[in-house]
Structure 1
Amino acid sequence: MDRLKDKVAIVTGSTSGIGIGIAKLYAAEGAKVVICGRREEKGQAVVDSILKEGGEATYHFMDITATESIEQLMSDTAEKYGKIDILVNNAANVGLKDGRVDELTLEMWDSVFQSDVRGTFYATKCVLPYMQKNAAGGSIINIGSMASCGGDLGSTAYACAKAGVDMLTQSTALQYGKQNIRCNCVRPGLIVTPQNEAHVPQALKDVFLSNIMVNRYGNPDDIGHMCVYLASDESSYVSGQIINVDGGLNSHVSTVAQFRELNSRTW
């Protein structure tokens, strides 16, 4: 359990959901993990749970929409640990119901883009100087979304923002790869967490399960395990990749669920 031994990792938005799953697995693999978000009480609870399991973690306040907050997070982490090896850009505004093009206001659009693209961009920009100082470079992992895989009936701003994260991933990987800085993107499918389970309607779960290739929904550890791999030296030849961790949801034709209901392979 030392795949990330002695590495320093920042996981943004790690006071709930997927972020907690990533952070706990990082700590279990030997990383020094910085838990960050706006909710100190929840963040400290994550830190306490990691310490209880013998890991190392600290909490740092961060607001993904505030540039000064991001700058302070990076500088304080580097000052405390002497380096930054891993950045997981997980913090985002999950606006899955933001609406159609004609329904969206500019304020709604800007709010989603501020957290999901602007925040991810600025955290990446701010961590680069610290990773450039490392002989070993670093690994940046962006958490994208299956929403960017194609058009949808709603969630227009969110989908467009996450598509921007996809391209930011590839641009970062290309521009800094020769400095041993890798960048990859993980697109989660339907991830049911302790925080969102009560708010995910059964009808939505049924729709997803009829299209997922496996027999369950995702959980935070599914994303965490991929993020461990992408942060570790095992993936030193993997960069600029956009990886779906969605149970196979986006790897088949769109009519599969309907034909399953008809007990037919095709028309």
Structure 2
Amino acid sequence: MDRLKDKVVIVTGSTSGIGIGIAKLCAAEAAQVVITGRNVERGQKVVNEIEAAGGKAWFHAFDLTSTESMHALIADTAEKFGHIDALVNNAAGMGLKDGRVDELTLEEFNAVVTTDLGGTFNMIKEVLPYLLKNEKGGSIVNIGSMASAGGDLGTIAYACAKSGVDKLTEYVACMYGPKNIRCNCVRPGLIVTPQNEGRIPDALKTIFLSNILGTRYGAPEDIGHLCVYLVSDESDYMNGQVLTCDGGLNSHTPTVAQFRTMAGRTW
């Protein structure tokens, strides 16, 4: 359980949901994990839980909409630990209006893109100088979304922002790979967390579960395990990849669930 021993790993948005799963698994592999978020009480709770399990963690307040907050997070982490080895860009804007083209103003669309894509870009920009100082470079893991895997009926701004994260990942890998900086992206499927379970309609759960090539929804730990691998030296030859972790949801034609109901194979 020491795959990340001596590594300092920042996980943004790690006071809830997927972020907690990523942070706890990194800590379980002996990383010093920096927990971030806007809610100090929730952040300290995650730190306490990690420490109670024998791990090491430290909380730093963080706001994805504030350039100053991003700079402070990176600078303070480097000052406290002397180095930074990995950044997991998990935080995303919450509570921003999204929907169909006819429902959004350009300002509302831009607000989502600026937060979710621009924030990811700026976090990478802030951490790069510190990763470049390391003899072995470092790892950046962007958390994308299956929303960028195909079209849907709503949340167009979020989908466009996450599609941009996919491409940003590839460009960062191309630009800084020769400096031993790896940048990969994980696109989660439907991940059910204690925070969102009550807000997901049963009808939506049924649709997703009928199309998942398994018997369960995703959990934060499913994304966490993949992030641990991408942060670790085991993935030294993985760079510029966009990896979908969705139980096979996006790997088949849209008729699979219907053909199962019909006990058929094709038309």
Same fold, TM-score > 0.5, yes or no = yes
Q: Per-residue deviation at 1:260?
A: 1.3
Report if aligned partners of 2:96, 2:111 keep a CA contact under 8 Å in 1: no
Q: How many angstroms does 1:101 deviate by?
A: 1.1
> Aligned partner of 1:11: which letter?
V
Q: State the secondary structure of the residue aligned to 1:214.
A: coil
Read off the aligned partner of 1:221 and give its amino acid letter.
Answer: E
CA distances 1:241-261 after superposition (whole Å, capped 9, x unpaired): 000000001111111111112
> Paired residue for 1:146?
146
Equivalent residues of 1:74, 1:126 under 8 A apart: yes
Q: Distance in 2 between matches of 1:115 and 1:62?
A: 13
Shifted more, 35-44 versus 90-99: the winner is 90-99
SS in 2 for 1:102: helix
2:188 match: 188
**CA pair 95-165 structure 1, distance change in 2 beyond 3 A:** farther
Q: Which residue does the alignment assign to 1:174?
A: 174
SS in 2 for 1:34: strand
Q: How many equivalent residue pairs?
A: 267
- Who is 1:244 aligned against? 244
- Please tell me whether the aligned partners of residues 95 and 158 of structure 1 are also in contact (alpha carbons under 8 angstroms): no
For 1:80 and 1:123, how far apart are their aligned partners in 2?
18
2:39 is aligned to: 39
Return the letter of the residue paired with 2:180.
N
SS at match of 1:243: strand
Which string of whole-angstrom CA distances, capped at 9 and with x for unpartnered residues, describes residues 90-115 of structure 1? 00025798211111112321221122
Question: In structure 1, how many angstroms separate the alpha carbons of the residues matched to 2:255 and 2:95?
Answer: 26
2:64 touches 2:93 (CA, 8 Å); kept in 1?
A: no
Q: CA–CA distance in 1 between the matches of 2:96 and 2:164?
A: 16
With 60-69 and 102-111 compared, the bigger mean Cα shift is at 102-111
- The residue that corresponds to 1:74 in the other structure is 74
Q: In structure 2, how many angstroms separate the alpha carbons of the residues matched to 1:94 and 1:244? A: 22
**Is 1:253 equivalent to 2:249 in the alignment?**
no
Q: SS where residue 147 of structure 1 aligns?
A: helix
Q: CA deviation at 1:87?
A: 0.1
Question: Could you tell me which residue of structure 1 aligns to residue 107 of structure 2?
Answer: 107
Cα distance, 1:201 vs structure 2: 1.0
Counterpart-to-counterpart distance in 1, 2:95 and 2:156? 9
Between stretches 85-94 and 9-18, larger displacement belongs to 85-94
CA RMSD across the alignment:
1.1
Contact kept in structure 2, 1:95 and 1:155, CA below 8 Å: no
Structure 2: any 5+ residue segments left out of the alignment? none
Residues 97, 154 of structure 1: 8 Å contact kept? no
Looking at structure 2, the residues matched to 259 and 118 of structure 1 have their Cα atoms a distance apart, in angstroms, of 41
1:63-114, Cα deviation, whole Å (9 max, x unpaired): 0110010000000000000110010000002579821111111232122112
Corresponding position: 1:165 with 2:165: yes
CA change 1:45–1:221 in 2 (3 A) is same
- Counterparts of 1:85-234 in structure 2 under 5 Å? 85-93=85-93, 98-234=98-234
- Matched-pair contact (CA < 8 Å) for 2:97–2:108: no
**Partner SS for 1:254:** coil
Residue 55 of structure 2 corresponds to 55
Deviations for 1:131-169, whole angstroms, at most 9, x for unmatched residues?
000001000000000000011111111100000000000
1:16 matched to which residue of 2? Answer: 16
CA distance in structure 2 between the partners assigned to 1:174 and 1:119 by the alignment: 20
Q: What code does the residue aligned with 1:31 have?
A: A
SS of aligned partner of 2:101: coil
| Structure 2 CA distance for aligned equivalents of residues 92 and 77 of structure 1 | 20
Partner Cα distance (2:220, 2:101) in 1: 31
Q: TM-score, normalised by structure 2?
A: 0.98
Percent of aligned positions that are identical: 67
